[in-house]
Amino acid sequence: MANADSAAAPRRERADARRNRQRILEATIELVLEVGGEPPRDTVARRAGVGIATVYRHFPDQQQLLRAVALEVLDRTIAAGCATLDESGPGGEALRLYLHAAIDAGLGVVNIVHPLVEDTDWLDRRAAAEEVLDRLVAGARADGAVGPGTSAADIALAAIRFCRPLAIGLDPEAERAVAHRQLDIYLDGLAAGAG
Amino acid sequence: MANADSAAAPRRERADARRNRQRILEATIELVLEVGGEPPRDTVARRAGVGIATVYRHFPDQQQLLRAVALEVLDRTIAAGCATLDESGPGGEALRLYLHAAIDAGLGVVNIVHPLVEDTDWLDRRAAAEEVLDRLVAGARADGAVGPGTSAADIALAAIRFCRPLAIGLDPEAERAVAHRQLDIYLDGLAAGAG
Amino acid sequence: MANADSAAAPRRERADARRNRQRILEATIELVLEVGGEPPRDTVARRAGVGIATVYRHFPDQQQLLRAVALEVLDRTIAAGCATLDESGPGGEALRLYLHAAIDAGLGVVNIVHPLVEDTDWLDRRAAAEEVLDRLVAGARADGAVGPGTSAADIALAAIRFCRPLAIGLDPEAERAVAHRQLDIYLDGLAAGAG
Amino acid sequence: MANADSAAAPRRERADARRNRQRILEATIELVLEVGGEPPRDTVARRAGVGIATVYRHFPDQQQLLRAVALEVLDRTIAAGCATLDESGPGGEALRLYLHAAIDAGLGVVNIVHPLVEDTDWLDRRAAAEEVLDRLVAGARADGAVGPGTSAADIALAAIRFCRPLAIGLDPEAERAVAHRQLDIYLDGLAAGAG
DNA sequence: AATGAATGAGGGTTCATTCAT
DNA sequence: AATGAATGAACCCTCATTCAT
């Protein structure tokens, strides 16, 4: 595939750029999850090991960087959801597994992205995520784990809430444990309301 | 020196200073709930209608301002809890009422205050709030609304979480509605787990 | 003396005011010698144990405070000079004693007072100090300790210079020692030039 | 990565950055000598013709700026000393010439740098300056211009003192004249003490 | 007359963003 | 295309000064 024609140079540049882009994304996700909020851009650059201007080349403003981060994380969440569907089928338990996986996938960073309404990529991704979620919710509904008064959107909002850091000084492990536990209670509540 | 006053007040506080302090607190609470995070101090000053240095006189640093805000809000929450106890007695429904009231009292600002561990006033207030909550939880437990595996602390953490803004661009009213609804589901979950 | 007539109050107030004024002066001199430069006014107030506005009542602006400080210090220096004259007469050694005494009296604060030209009190005081100095210099000249090319003004400038902190991190004791030693060498130089 | 350069320069410094750095240094030296004390950073920036943040990039805090200034001035002083040695040899007159040159080189700014103890560059520079001074003092001692009780360190302290502004409102020219004259008298004193 | 609160201007520092290399 | 310097706006904080009590 990579034949040595004379125009190969631009191709190789792309690989560099691609790698840089990915590094910047990873660095941002790490910083958002570690420190919370919107990390200074030169901090992102330093963590990613690139120059500040490279960050700007790839993501002309903070919005676009955060948007890319959100897309990335949502992709991971969707992948986790699909895996769950493949493995356990759409039963009531599958929804639970999926939501726990979403928390672990870093869904928590998603709520930094207010103004993503109107963004096509984002809406597409959301639609995909919702489709997965819909199928899981449908299965759960069939199992009696979710009642008729509860929509998939309600559940998505709940997942987002449980991803948020409590910000009371818990260490990351305790934070995660609490989130998972509260999510379980919430799902119990849904099931109770359904019965 | 001149004990011309029968009440021996330690040091008569100036009326306008007191008023300013209160205004600054109100302004800060509003801003935290509206915008989230730590509001710039000159914004606080402008909103409160005082000069910037007045904010600094009353609250030498951001920590102390946020601490005062947290205390204020917790006081309001406690007052709401006591009122609930007085009116409805400590039954299972009372806990629900109390937690909804806490959300409305602005408990959501509380999680801005990491390093309040070791602060006596704060710990006192927390103790008081916990006492109220304990009594409400005990009543709920007797009613079967809370199971043996759930502590008052668990419930406090949940309340804090439901106070946090979702930060997905909802307007304040929708935000409140979602919070109250999710809280209800969570409480249903507790009751289901208890039964 | 303190008879109980109805108009006694204003008299007593004056004593208070006088004492406050003196406290403020002392506090300022201490701070200037300790920290160097122009001390913040509320620091002066705190050190003097009075309210900030009291400082302003007595000294409406920084200039006037520093001016008063300079006058005070110069008075002390003059007093030291007169004492020297009384004790040792106007010989060559007397000039040396006087200049060392001036350093110890805190003459060093004097150079914070640029724009005292045109101030009558200051000029009077300077005239008095110069008169003392002139007599000492005249005596020294007669002894051959000061040559014809050196004026009293030259010597005054030198004294001021030797009062200044070196600002290289020496502790106050070492600072004083160096100043006295350098002054001695300078005076030796004068004598050498005279011979 | 691309070692296309035979000189293996560690990291080619940008020309404009270098120029800006130098401008900032010059501006600071000027301001210190003119106004004394630590000049506001935006004043430095304006005088140097750069943005405020450029000052911060080169010198993250006031300390580092003043340190660089001190190093620069000491370098100039050393250069002056070496030139003196080359031209006039290490006789008694050479020391006098050197000290006058040091004053003119701006040695006066040196005393703004309290906490440079422990700074290697500074100590190196000081060692170099001391070496030059030692040789000059040794020559002067041989000529009988400096006595056995006077060390090179004593003389360095004196030089620093004579550099300091008197701060009594003299214009720069008069200031310089007085300093040079007092230095001469001091050196006469040393010679007198030596004889 | 003394007190202490309120004010606002000024200097310090960080960070998002643009531009030269 | 990548780098790192320069820029200026925004925020932080202190202090001189005025004003209400």
pLDDT digits (tens, 9 = 90+) for D61-78: 988 898 899 889 889 889
Does B142 score more than 90 pLDDT?
Answer: yes
- By C-alpha distance, the chain C residue nearest D187 is C189
D89 or C11, which is more confident:
D89
Percentage of residues in chain C having pLDDT higher than 70 = 87
Distance from CA of B60 to the nearest CA of A (A): 22
Selected for mutation to probe chain D from C35, C186, C190 (highest D CB count within 10 Å) is C186
Residue-wise pLDDT for A146-157, tens only, equals 988 888 888 988
Nucleotides of chain F touched by protein CB (<7 A): 1-21
pLDDT on residue B153: 87
Confidence class of residue C59 from pLDDT cuts 50, 70 and 90? Answer: very high
- By C-alpha distance, the chain D residue nearest C193 is D188
Half-sphere exposure of D118 (CA within 13 A, CB side): 3
Confidence class of residue A137 from pLDDT cuts 50, 70 and 90? Answer: very high
Confidence class of residue B117 from pLDDT cuts 50, 70 and 90? Answer: low
A193 contacts B185? CB cut-off 8 A:
yes
- Alpha carbons B6 and D120: distance in angstroms, whole number: 68
A54 CA: nearest nucleotide by C1' = F2
Residue-wise pLDDT for C73-102, tens only, equals 889 888 988 888 888 877 778 999 999 988
Q: In this structure, are residues C139 and C92 in contact, taking their beta carbons and an 8 Å threshold?
A: yes
Contact yes or no, A with B (3+ CB pairs under 8 Å): yes
pLDDT on residue C112: 60
Does A6 score more than 70 pLDDT?
Answer: no
Residues of B in contact with A169 (CB under 8 A): 114-115, 117
User: Is A44 exposed, middle or buried (CB count within 10 Å of its CB: 0-12, 13-18, 19+)?
Assistant: buried
D115 contacts C168? CB cut-off 8 A:
no
Mean pLDDT for all residues in chain C: 83
Q: In this structure, are residues C156 and C186 in contact, taking their beta carbons and an 8 Å threshold?
A: no
Phi, psi of B166 (to 5 degrees): -75, -25
A20 CA: nearest nucleotide by C1' = F2
Confidence class of residue B174 from pLDDT cuts 50, 70 and 90? Answer: confident
CB-to-strand F under 7 Å, chain A 20-79: 20, 50-54, 56-58
Does residue C62 approach strand F to less than 7 Å at its CB? yes
Which residue is closest to F1 in terms of CA–C1' distance?
A13
Mean predicted confidence (pLDDT) in A55-59: 94
Burial D140-157 (b: 16+ CB within 10 A, else e): bbebebbeeebebebbbb
- Alpha carbons A57 and A40: distance in angstroms, whole number: 16
pLDDT on residue C115: 56
Does C35 score more than 80 pLDDT?
Answer: no
Nucleotides of chain E touched by protein CB (<7 A): 1-21
Selected for mutation to probe chain B from A126, A168, A187 (highest B CB count within 10 Å) is A168
User: Measured in whole angstroms, how far is the alpha carbon of residue B8 from the centre of its chain?
Assistant: 33
The subunits that touch chain C, with at least 3 C-beta pairs less than 8 Å apart, are D
Does residue B27 approach strand E to less than 7 Å at its CB? no
